[in-house]
Amino acid sequence: RAAEWQLDQPAWSGRLRITARGSTAFIKLEDRSSGELFAQAPVEQFPGTAVESVTDSSRYFVIRIEDGNGRRAFIGVGFADRGDAFDFNVALQDHFKWVRQQSELARQAQEPEQGPKLDLGFKEGQTIKLNIANMKKKEGATGNTRPRPAGPGGLSLLPPPPGGKSGSGERPASLPPPAQLPGTPITDSLLSWPQPTAAPAADVWGDFAKASG
């Protein structure tokens, strides 16, 4: 508990830096002016026993310092500003997050994926079929696509049935001759006009020759 410490009279005051060498982070307490090292705490795991938060404040921690000769001691460290305490936590978290990522990459390099790999390349002569916009080609749609001849008035004329026969096998009935439009001459190809039969030359006038008057 930080409340049990003599916060109004700290034993030492200075600056704190976090450095890293390999996977180990070092909390360094240095003199504010000269930069002389006062103590340092190597951190190999976070969270862990090397750095612990107190139970009654977010600005105070207990760190385990070492002198390099095997001697260790636990001291309390506090920050006057809450933002500095937050940065202290984030710096340690980012370092060990990077350590975990490097360990995962090294493990994947040593243990390649088991099982056959998917070969998504095309083999020689292999083709694929694409269905664009769900439009399927109808069977028999590849026949003659030439436009049909247009009749009078722009109407399309249907082609005659094959063989000149209808679907039932019988010859279709003859179509009536086309109607004569007013003001158009009649041709022999359309209508054959009956010619009057000539009377015998001996009796041209018949009974009218004897008529009186």
Domain ranges of the chain: 2-110
Under DSSP, is residue 45 helix (H, G, I), strand (E, B) or coil?
coil
Identify whether the C-beta of residue 57 lies closer than 8 Å to the C-beta of residue 80: no
State the pLDDT at residue 84: 92
Mean pLDDT of the chain: 75
Question: Cα(69)–Cα(1) distance, rounded to whole angstroms?
Answer: 29
Structure token digits, residue 123: 């083999």
Under DSSP, is residue 30 helix (H, G, I), strand (E, B) or coil?
strand
- E-state strands within 22-161: 24-30, 37-43, 51-53, 60-66, 72-78
Nearest alpha carbon to residue 16 among 69, 56, 63: 63
pTM: 0.49
Q: What is the pLDDT of residues 18-68, one digit of tens each?
A: 999 988 999 999 998 898 999 999 998 888 889 999 988 889 999 999 987
pLDDT higher at 144 or 27: 27
* Interior angle at CA 91, CA 87 and CA 92, nearest 5: 125
Question: Cα(128)–Cα(118) distance, rounded to whole angstroms?
Answer: 18
Under DSSP, is residue 178 helix (H, G, I), strand (E, B) or coil?
coil
Highest averaged pLDDT of the listed ranges 119-128, 176-185, 186-195: 119-128
Question: Cα(37)–Cα(110) distance, rounded to whole angstroms?
Answer: 40
- Express as a percent the part of the chain with pLDDT over 90: 27
pLDDT higher at 199 or 56: 56
**If one looks up domain 2-110 in CATH, what number appears?**
2.30.29.30
